[in-house]
A and B are shown apart, each in its own frame.
Chain A
């Protein structure tokens, strides 16, 4: 296969420009010959001869270059004639000539300011439309959920249990480890700062308030949004791509009842349990650090906790759980049902589901903080 590189010689033979080509005129071998041929000047010659006899190998790119050189010379009024060359090469040149159909160039770039405004406008409209659809879906889900609760027989038990297992039971290791570490971190930071004032015992209060009110529920919700919310979107989205949702409708099954309600209910039941579990492990993490760093025994920790932290702190965390769960599951299912019929949109919607769910959870959490603080609990 190691034929020589393309060769190109031009000379004037009287009034005739001779272009002698040789070697390998192939896509992989051609480099600078393109520019050399493009810059070919007739130098006053009225005739030109392109010699192809020495060419060992030629493919469409080589054929194109020969054809283009001939075309450009002809355009300048030179009579061109191809000499030598295999029939195969001449056929290829003829094929390429028959396909000299220039395509329109890429559209010119638009003014960046206009593009920016265009994008901003489009994004705004999209966000608003999405918000409207989400509120719509919220209403729909609520209605169907209440109807299902009124007729418990319509709830798909197998699906419910299976989702509770996936979203709850299987999340135990990661949620536990995360909460334990968060408890440790809080205790470390608290110990560092509070020791300066000799108030190290209040580390317990810090860990208790922090974990029970906010950290336990918020981080568990975020983790579940990333873990289960995205899974809901991907599952329902894939079913949408496979036309399973359409199939479901044609046999008279309501996707809301079959797909959405079990997921929403499963998450609303498991997230409070997961939160309780996260609370316990968070406190344990704090207690371990309190013991190691501050010599506060577990008994002391428990006593300080029960005197310093009101039960309300615990209940505030738990009360928020089903609300967050509802939001996460609803957004996950909503985005899944919004998937269009392409695999690509499954990925995009999954990302959107996680981002939206986490965003809404944090917004709700902030609102809850304001509310509870005004209520004085």
Chain B
């Protein structure tokens, strides 16, 4: 994998009407790292993710993804760029009229010249990579549990072998066991496929298990660092977040040696 940064944001401002969400925000993600984004409710975590993937146009600033300035790119080029990343939305956002296999096939059919048989092979590999049982291939999203839907969404996000993976609250709505498994899965895939990952989450355990660095959204900007370095920040919200009872519990759990095998 090449070195360097995959996402670089400088001087970002996003606003809806007169409400300013981000102001003069600088942020970057290095290739091959897992960056977590945390922050209180309404600080614009998902907005940041949506700005990077081009669903929200910023009011000012530059967003450079994989060397291209998203804010200056014509729509065609944005679409071409979008093939180079995968997004897992909160509840998987699977197409409800298609089976899991057809969901994974959709981006392959659209954007590659792979033969039908190779597509079938690759669907099987992606289903297995995402930790789904083979029988899940012919099921419809409504027949799957929440955790399985997320895995299927992950398999679809991996369909085109993306360079960057965006995860929006990947463990929200999963039971603790399922969440821990999903964390291990993401970490394992990230290592095996050399992915760069941007993950928006509330889940402290997940932060400890998955992230190399963490960005905290505070006062319309971000504070970036490893969890250890962030714990030394004087900011009261950060202190409360990492040193509160849940933060301490998660830290203790991670200290116990969270497995990072392939879930």
Contact = CB atoms under 8 A, between A and B. Distances in A.
Given A27-B161, A28-B112, A106-B99, A61 B118 contact: yes
A102 interface: yes
Most A Cβ at <10 Å: residue of B115, B120, B135: B115
B78 to A, nearest CB: 16
A30 B122 CA distance: 13
A65 B113 CA distance: 14
Contacts of B161: 26-27, 59-61
A64 B101 contact: no
A30 B99 contact: no
Interface size band for A: 20 to 34
B101 A103 contact: yes
B117 A34 contact: yes
A104 interface: yes
Contacts of B10: none
B193 A92 contact: yes
Interface string B113-130: 111011011111111110
B113 A30 contact: yes
B125 A99 contact: yes
A105 B120 CA distance: 9
Contacts of A26: 161
A95 interface: yes
A99 B125 CA distance: 6
B125 A60 contact: yes
Interface in A85-113: 88, 91-92, 95-96, 99-107
B138 A107 contact: yes
Contacts of B122: 27, 60-61, 64
A28 B111 CA distance: 7
Interface string B1-20: 10000000000000000000
B50 interface: no
Nearest to A342: B142
A34 B118 contact: yes
A131 to B, nearest CB: 26
B87 interface: no
Interface residues of B, number: 35
Contact of B96 (A28, A61, A344): A344
B74 interface: no
Contacts of B83: 28
Nearest to B96: A344
A106 B96 contact: no
Interface in A212-257: none
Interface in B87-124: 96, 99, 101, 108, 111-115, 117-118, 120-124
B52 interface: no
B192 interface: yes
A100 to B, nearest CB: 7
Contacts of B157: none
A46 interface: no
Nearest to B194: A88
Interface string A30-70: 11001100100000000000000000000111001100100
B125 A64 contact: yes
B125 A27 contact: no
Nearest to A88: B194
A104 B112 contact: no
A344 B125 CA distance: 31
A35 B113 CA distance: 12
B68 to A, nearest CB: 11
Interface string B159-171: 0110000000000
B134 A104 contact: yes
Contact of B127 (A60, A68, A92, A103): A103
9 closest A-B pairs by CB: A103-B137, A59-B161, A99-B128, A31-B113, A103-B134, A101-B128, A34-B118, A95-B192, A27-B161
13 contacts: A27-B160, A27-B161, A28-B112, A60-B161, A88-B194, A101-B134, A102-B124, A102-B134, A103-B123, A103-B136, A104-B137, A342-B142, A344-B96
Interface of B: 1, 83, 96, 99, 101, 108, 111-115, 117-118, 120-129, 134-138, 142, 158, 160-161, 192-194
Interface of A: 26-28, 30-31, 34-35, 38, 59-61, 64-65, 68, 88, 91-92, 95-96, 99-107, 342, 344
